[in-house]
Amino acid sequence: MRFYLCFALRKERIRKDGTCTVFARFTYNKRRLELSTSVIIKPEDWDEVRQLVKDDAPNAESLNNRLKKVDTALHDTYNRLVSSGKNFNVDDIKDEYKGIRNSKGILEVFDYYLKTIENNIGHGYAYRTLKHYRVTRKKLAEFLRNQLHKGDTPINSINYNFLNQFDMFLKAEYGVHQNTAWNYHKHIKRIMNLAVSMEFIQKSPYNQFKTKLQQTNREFLTKDELHRLETKQIEIDRLAIVRDIFVFACYTGLAYSDISKLNTNHIQTRNDGNQWIIINRTKTKSQCSIPLFPNALKIIEQYSCYPEALLKGRVLPVSSNQKLNSYLKEIATVCGINKHLTMHMARHTFATTVTLSNGVPIETVSKILGHKSLKITQIYARVLESKISEDMMTLRKKLGM
């Protein structure tokens, strides 16, 4: 495999003053790349045969010396890579020439961050977070391998074009939704910000590359569907237990990660004489104070002596989130609910059907859910037509209409 190098004008990019740039074109292993030499001349001053600036052109000797230095540097770079005994391609030649080959690789920095998360599980990070970041790392490695034919790439070579190509790769290869792609970018953006903090790069390419979340309609159970689910006689024990856990989530707004760690210490009697759940959310670490509805309290009492719950020191016999969601599909069929039931839907049901639709202010709902912003609560909670109609009827009465 030989290395070929030549110089050529980019005549299709003539500037307003009639000049254009001389580019170094080099080919290795049937792939070609171009690099700007920063030599700018008029097309008529270029000798295509000699691949040099014509002798009678202004500053010809100085410009040709610059081209000679580029030629020497690129050949030296190629010979250095050959001597290393390692496999390389034209991208590596370019990176070595530009002085960024010794930069930290993006996967190298990613692995450093993964190690940080691993070492801090339970101290600011959850295992679920580690799992999500690992998936993003895997997708990024596949993109580098399949699209760029690289095992890694210098983090200071990541630019707008790289991120845009990765975005298109995700959507073309995996058919991911815009919001799923946004989550992958959120993780990589964190890695780039870490690289800035560690002074591997000066600024993040996400300053230019922007991704947006698309508004989606989050599913929830209607009042009728929740009642149907709650009162359905289910003979299969495993399904009945999962149904109860789901209903409990609908009346407390707790996420799976919080229900799975819920113990008797989290149940407290407050100044109003009622029992409340007082718990720090696993995801945000913010404290939630949730008054227990009779429906939820009944479920807690029902499983107070359940062997599996007692063995784990938990209030409810909660299995893995994956298993719960799998059983919820069966429960939806049994109850005649034509929706994709998941544990997370219970949280949306609490926000929309149980609280907001019954006149609970969104600020209160946000506090119970443990959100740090009303914008997040607005994603969970939707104002139903029935609530709008009810509020307007109340307004009509007040206005005497």
DSSP label of 154: B
pLDDT at 14: 83
pLDDT at 367: 83
pLDDT at 395: 62
Token pair of 93 as six digits: 């030649």
> pLDDT tens for residues 205-257?
999 999 887 766 678 899 999 999 999 999 999 999 999 999 999 999 998 98
d(CA 166, CA 205): 13
Which one of 118-127, 184-193, 367-376 scores highest in mean pLDDT?
184-193
pLDDT at 156 over 90: no
| Domain boundary assignment for the chain | 3-98, 106-207, 223-397
CATH topology of domain 223-397: hpI Integrase; Chain A (1.10.443)
Q: Is 30 left (phi over 0), alpha (psi -120 to 50) or beta?
A: left
pLDDT at 385 over 70: no
pLDDT at 357: 82
pLDDT at 173 over 70: yes
Stronger pLDDT, 396 or 306, i.e. the higher one: 306
Span 257-268, mean pLDDT?
Answer: 89
In this structure, of 45-54, 188-197, 310-319, 385-394, the range with the lowest mean pLDDT score is 385-394
Average pLDDT of the chain? 86
Span 165-191, mean pLDDT?
Answer: 92
d(CA 272, CA 9): 82
pLDDT at 252: 93
pLDDT band at residue 351 using 50, 70 and 90 as cut-offs: confident
pLDDT band at residue 31 using 50, 70 and 90 as cut-offs: confident
pLDDT at 217: 67
pLDDT at 384 over 60: no
Query: Kind of pairing, strands 287-291 and 275-280?
Result: antiparallel
Span 44-52, mean pLDDT?
Answer: 91
Token pair of 124 as six digits: 């600011």
pLDDT at 289: 85
Helix 127-146 × helix 160-173 angle, to 10°: 100
pLDDT at 80: 85
Q: Count the neighbouring beta carbons within 10 Å of the beta carbon of residue 232.
A: 15
d(CA 298, CA 275): 12
Span 385-392, mean pLDDT?
Answer: 61
- Cβ(81)–Cβ(96) below 8 Å: yes
Model-level pTM? 0.58
- Cβ(339)–Cβ(219) below 8 Å: yes
Helix 106-119 × helix 127-146 angle, to 10°: 170
List residues bridging with 105 in a β-sheet: 154
Span 120-144, mean pLDDT?
Answer: 89
d(CA 316, CA 373): 29
Span 141-159, mean pLDDT?
Answer: 90
pLDDT at 380 over 70: no
pLDDT at 364: 85
Which one of 294-308, 325-339, 346-360 scores highest in mean pLDDT?
325-339
pLDDT at 181: 92
